[in-house]
Amino acid sequence: MSYRTIQLAYDGGVATITFNRPEKRNAISFELIDDLVRGLDEVAKSDAIVLILTGAGKAFCSGMDLENLKGLLGKSPEENLKDSETMVRLFRSLYEFPKVTIAAVNGAAIAGGTGLALLCDFTIAVPEAKFGYTEVRIGFVPAIVSTFLLRQVGEKQARDLLLTGRIFGAEEAARMGLISEIVPAENLLTRARELAALLMENSAASLRLTKQLLTDHARSEVDTQIEAAVRANAGIRSTADFREGISSFLEKRKPVWTGK
């Protein structure tokens, strides 16, 4: 397959997907979503045992692309629902991925970037990495990512991160159990490959069936929560605060909220 926004490489039993929009800090565009979903499908069907996910340049993934943000204004309810379902497909493709996944977080991973980084089975990060569920700061609802965050850190910490929208660093993420290890930048991919090699000492069939078991355990609850999340994600887009949040972010000014 050909991809415009990601690079996909194989080395033995390891596949590596690299977000390849460094000039945009690897922001999530609809094209990147399509490329990543197709890339994940290709790796799932390959002989690879482990997938490493990382970013080109200084950022892992900085959240939604500005041009796509502009395009969200004025969409119909049906279009908003379709967009929400597209984002769900991306996150579920990674959460339910049949191979073991390692996120090598080389820099900022914000909003949807945080979601992608922390959905992997293992997340290792450089000391300078930054995370944040910043959706409420621009009039969004962190609906889809909340489904998975609640399972990772529990309700109290999830409320803190989702309601404040604050940025937090690698050390705090490690204390909460969101990342597995902090690694100097020059050693990041080497460490990811070392972890992949350790995993590949195990039975590939056992790894695959263990991941399937974990996914199946969570499926019923995740299905219910995702259904509500899609409605919330689409519903917020019809509000005045959503329009103000996006407009103020694009115009680089402080938002004026009305609560409507």
Rama region for 254: left / alpha / beta (φ>0; ψ in -120 to 50; rest): beta
Burial of 129 (0-12, 13-18, 19+ CB in 10 A): buried
Q: Identify the CA nearest to 30 among candidates 59, 4, 1, 53.
A: 4
Per the annotation, the verdict on 172 as an active-site residue is: no
CA distances from 167 to 39, 109, 200, 209, 228 (A): 29, 10, 34, 36, 26
The residue written with tokens 């509000």 in the block is: 239
Do 112 and 64 form a contact (C-beta atoms < 8 A)?
A: yes
Out of 135, 171, 181, 194, which one is annotated catalytic? 135
Residues 6+ away with beta carbon under 8 Å from 215: 95, 96
Do 126 and 182 form a contact (C-beta atoms < 8 A)?
A: yes
The residue written with tokens 């019809």 in the block is: 238
Q: Which residues are catalytic?
A: 135
